[in-house]
Amino acid sequence: MKVQNKTIKSSILKKLFIKVCRIFDFEIIDQGNLHLPVIDKKSPKILSKIGDQSLVLPMGKIKITRKVKSLDIILRTCASVNMLSQSKKRIFKSNKDQYSLRTLMSLINSINNNKKIFENIKLKLTIIDHNSEKKIIHKFKKILKKQFFKSEIKSLNIDFYKKKIKKINQQGKEVTQNQISNMSNINQSLNLGKNCDDLVYFVEDDYVHKIDAIEEMLFAYEKISTQTRKELILCPADYPYLYTKLKDSKILLGNKYHWRTIEESLCTFLTSKKIINKHFKKLTSACEYEHFPFEKPFHQIYKKELCISPMPAIALHYTNINSIYGLSPFIDYKKLWKNNKL
């Protein structure tokens, strides 16, 4: 009988303690079963709340002060050109439209993986296309029509933007027609992005995303921006070339991934309207004069701003398998490709 009374008293005290923790916004964890009684969840489910708190075991809770208001995804497509500047085949040797379609599908799958985070975040996906066949555009429209978020397909205004491009590049060579298309599309994307409300994700049409990619980028942005009090640049790929140089990196914790500081990237990245407008002239300089390397103006910005990429990757650049700018290590390439089939 005494044992029963002790159990009842212990249960009552436990409930009172949990109520007190809720009042003071504290979190506790039962080591026996990893249950979090205050929020009534079990680890390792997502414990963070977008726009409110970041909670990663065993690091504790961080109150979010840099809340994401909106996300604009700007996808640049050109399903008619296999490779921008190479004659090599891509991994899986498919037609370019398959990479464009799977990029779009992977973004949509990642968005739909956690719709709840968009209850208070405005979301829009815009495609800026150049020279894709009508049947591919029709597929884009058919896919986007079924989604819960706003979307739009724009044609590249190449006649306007190509006038801004110098005909001879930094290597003294004539700029190719494929590169003129690419530079024009980036320029139009940046001009669209600078008028968005908050975060902008610029995506090339050969990046296939993991199911948790969008979720991780948003949670990581809020958390790391809150901690550092800085606007960020997030690159979703863990490029092979990052392992060819012995450069120091700072390691940061996102929501479910480690992130490290980098000084180089390609042209797929997420950032804020503030960063775009702050460095707009430098960003668009890459679209008006072909530098070597092409992303040189971006790299100059990264020396002034906090640019990070995840380990392992949350999006894969599906280019030639031997490219140091392509596939990230330790990822099941075939599974990711298969999971995002139209």
pLDDT tens digits for range 114-152? 999 999 999 999 999 999 999 999 999 999 999 999 999
Contact 104, 204 (CB under 8 A): no
Helix, strand and coil content of the chain, in percent to the nearest 5, comes to 35, 20, 45
pLDDT in tens, 166-191: 999 999 999 999 999 999 999 999 99
Backbone φ, ψ for residue 82 (5° rounding): -70, -55
Cα dist from 159 to 25, 74, 162, 180, whole Å: 57, 20, 6, 10
Contact 17, 25 (CB under 8 A): no
Helices 134-145, 96-112: crossing angle, 10 deg rounding: 10
Contact 262, 284 (CB under 8 A): no
243, 242, 234, 220: which is closest to 305 by C-alpha? Answer: 234
- For residue 202, the surrounding DSSP H or E stretch is strand 199-204
Residue 85 to residue 176: CA distance in whole angstroms: 9
Cα dist from 59 to 24, 41, 48, 249, whole Å: 19, 17, 12, 21
What pLDDT is recorded for position 325?
A: 85
Beta bridge partners of 151: 125
What pLDDT is recorded for position 317?
A: 95
Place of tokens 């002790």: 6
Q: How confident is the prediction along the chain (342 residues), in pLDDT tens digits per residue?
A: 544 554 555 567 666 666 666 665 566 666 655 566 655 655 556 678 899 999 887 778 899 999 999 999 999 999 987 766 566 789 999 999 999 999 999 999 999 999 999 999 999 999 999 999 999 999 999 999 999 999 999 999 999 999 999 999 999 999 999 999 999 999 999 999 999 999 999 999 999 999 999 999 999 999 999 999 999 999 999 999 999 988 899 999 999 999 999 999 999 999 999 999 999 999 999 999 999 999 999 999 999 999 999 999 999 999 988 888 889 999 999 999 999 998
Residue 229 to residue 204: CA distance in whole angstroms: 29
- For residue 208, the surrounding DSSP H or E stretch is strand 207-209
339, 268, 264: which is closest to 301 by C-alpha? Answer: 264
Helices (H), 113-212: 134-145, 158-161, 177-193
Beta bridge partners of 182: none
Q: Which domains does the chain have, with CATH numbers?
A: 2-45 (no CATH), 70-339 (3.90.550.10)
Residue 147 to residue 111: CA distance in whole angstroms: 10
